[in-house]
């Protein structure tokens, strides 16, 4: 067994790939017919401040190795957080021991060799930020100060925080696939409390990016958090009734996330989806397209392969409102008698088409209804499609925001909600794996007073 320097990997792709190669060799030597392993090393710093004082400065360093071995159609998996050679040897041995005692599963095994990714373009995911804790503290304090100083009505703070992270991950299997990716990720957030004498409200804002220069400035984030908090002051309740509902982008992508879950391979083969057997079915209005773009430079969900080494899906998931494919990993695909389409780690930059409307135009188009800016609770059933969640936001009259509202519940069925999409805004939020603008739905039940 090779001796590796695990005291300081310095995020070396070569070191990680070497460790995986050794682990796979050990598995084969122990009799495994196939094996796969994933290894990640990450380090970072988190700084949080509150009421102009430093609360925490934390440094993190994490390692993780997971290996799965196959003895024919028997699978065993084990993991370790130690990269010491002896710990890795014991982990491989444990996975093999488990595999010898598991039942056979005809759908288990590595992804098909011909599906392995073979091209690895530079996706611009690594941008080191040489910032020390003092500089990070200054930025967090500046972010919070911008919020606190924006108005006398901002009376308290939940704080501001900055997260700085970088990591390298590697994956390999006995098909001969062995590759690694380096990624950085930075975020800055702020949350404050406002009080107008009649009640208090809280809101927040944040930004996240691969490169520090792509983040909004600390001052901009703080001011946005304060602005969002101030506009919630004086919130009222609503009478119960059916109304159009407009979801802001950061919530609209959640609706698309529920759709993704419903067309996921696991939900389909388990027959636990409100969109069971929906491939080829008109689920959205004809103006809606959902397309994946895994190779977009610098985006948070960009990648050259999925968690099984498979080339990621690129193309239409939904075209003109019609479901084109399910989201399949190797196991779920085999359960359905199909082939993986590179979704073992979810969607990659799923872009939701828009109708060309700005946010203001969506308000005008809605005319009278509810703008939802925050959701609470877990009342979403992707088996039946039933949807019921607590909400806050704003009442809209004559196409303009009239006043803030709170203590309401919105309810409907996801199938009806997706079909009832009237328009999608061009105010696209790209801070995640789903890139989506505001979504306007024709009608939902809004439960409030009475």
Set out the domains of the chain in order of their start, with CATH numbers: 13-230 (3.30.2290.10), 241-447 (no CATH)
Mean pLDDT, residues 140-166: 97
Please write the tens of the pLDDT for every residue from 321-377: 999 999 999 999 999 999 999 999 999 999 999 999 999 999 999 999 999 999 998
CA separation (Å) from 167 to 61, 64, 141, 242, 425? 9, 11, 26, 48, 34
CA distance linking residue 210 with residue 349, whole number of Å: 14
Neighbours of 235 (CB within 10 A): 19
* pLDDT of the residue at 378: 87
Handedness of CA 87, 92, 95, 101 (dihedral sign): negative
pLDDT at site 2: 45
Segment 385-409 mean pLDDT = 97
Across 10-38, average pLDDT: 92
What does the pLDDT read at residue 344?
Answer: 97
Q: Is the pLDDT of residue 80 over 80?
A: yes
* Residue partners of 132: CB distance under 8 A and separation at least 6: none
Beta carbons within 10 angstroms of residue 347's beta carbon = 24
Stretch (H or E) spanning 158 = strand 154-173
Is the pLDDT at 388 greater than 80? The verdict is: yes
Residue 12 pLDDT grade (very low, low, confident, very high; cuts 50, 70, 90)? confident
pLDDT tens, 221-270?
A: 999 999 999 999 999 999 999 999 999 999 999 999 999 999 999 999 99
Report pTM.
0.94
pLDDT at 11 over 80: no
Q: pLDDT at residue 13 above 50? A: yes
pLDDT digits (tens, 9 = 90+) for 39-72: 999 999 999 999 999 999 999 999 999 999 999 9
Alpha-carbon span 277 to 244, nearest angstrom: 29
> pLDDT value at position 1?
43
Q: Quick one: pLDDT at residue 10?
A: 53
- pLDDT over 70 percentage in the chain: 97
Q: Of 91, 436, 398, 120, whose CA–CA distance to 254 is shortest?
A: 436
Number of H helices, E strands in the chain: 9, 17
């Amino acid at each position: 067994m090779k001796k590796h320097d695990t005291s300081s990997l310095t995020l070396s792709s070569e070191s990680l790939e070497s460790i995986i190669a050794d682990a796979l060799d050990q598995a084969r030597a122990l009799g495994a017919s196939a094996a796969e392993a994933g290894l990640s090393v990450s380090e970072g710093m988190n700084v949080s401040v509150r009421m102009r004082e430093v609360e925490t400065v934390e440094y993190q360093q994490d390692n993780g190795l997971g290996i799965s071995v196959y003895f024919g159609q028997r699978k065993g998996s084990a993991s370790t957080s130690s990269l010491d050679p002896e710990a890795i040897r014991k982990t491989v041995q444990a996975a093999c021991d488990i595999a010898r005692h598991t039942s056979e599963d005809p759908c288990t095994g590595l992804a098909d060799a011909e599906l392995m990714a073979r091209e690895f373009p530079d996706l611009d995911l690594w941008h080191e930020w040489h910032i020390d804790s003092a500089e990070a503290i200054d930025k967090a304090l500046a972010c919070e100060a911008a919020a606190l100083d924006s108005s006398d009505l901002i009376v308290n703070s939940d704080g501001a925080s900055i997260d700085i992270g970088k990591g390298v991950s590697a994956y390999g299997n006995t098909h001969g696939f062995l590759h690694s990716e380096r990624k950085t990720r930075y975020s800055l957030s702020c949350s404050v409390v406002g009080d107008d004498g009649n009640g208090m409200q809280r809101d927040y804002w944040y930004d996240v990016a691969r490169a520090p220069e792509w983040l909004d400035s600390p001052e901009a984030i703080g001011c946005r958090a304060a602005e969002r908090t101030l506009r919630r002051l004086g919130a009222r309740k609503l009478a119960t009734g059916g109304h159009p509902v407009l979801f802001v982008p950061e919530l609209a992508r959640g609706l698309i996330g529920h759709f993704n879950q419903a067309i996921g391979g696991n939900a389909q083969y388990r027959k636990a989806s409100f969109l069971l057997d929906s491939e080829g079915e008109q689920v959205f209005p004809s103006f809606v397209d959902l397309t994946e773009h895994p190779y977009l430079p610098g985006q948070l969900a960009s990648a050259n392969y999925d968690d099984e080494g498979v080339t990621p899906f690129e193309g239409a998931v939904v075209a003109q409102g019609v479901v084109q494919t399910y989201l399949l990993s190797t196991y779920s695909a085999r359960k359905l008698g199909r082939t993986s389409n590179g979704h073992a780690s979810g969607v990659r930059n799923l872009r939701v088409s828009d109708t060309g409307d700005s946010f203001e135009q969506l308000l005008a188009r809605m005319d009278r209804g509810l703008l939802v800016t925050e959701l609470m609770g877990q009342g979403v059933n992707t088996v039946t499609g039933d949807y019921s969640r607590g909400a806050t936001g704003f009442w809209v009259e004559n196409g303009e925001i009239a006043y803030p509202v709170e203590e309401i519940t919105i309810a409907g069925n996801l199938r009806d909600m997706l079909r009832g999409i009237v328009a999608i805004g061009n105010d696209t939020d790209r801070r995640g794996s789903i890139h989506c603008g505001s979504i306007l739905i024709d009608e939902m039940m809004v439960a409030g007073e009475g």
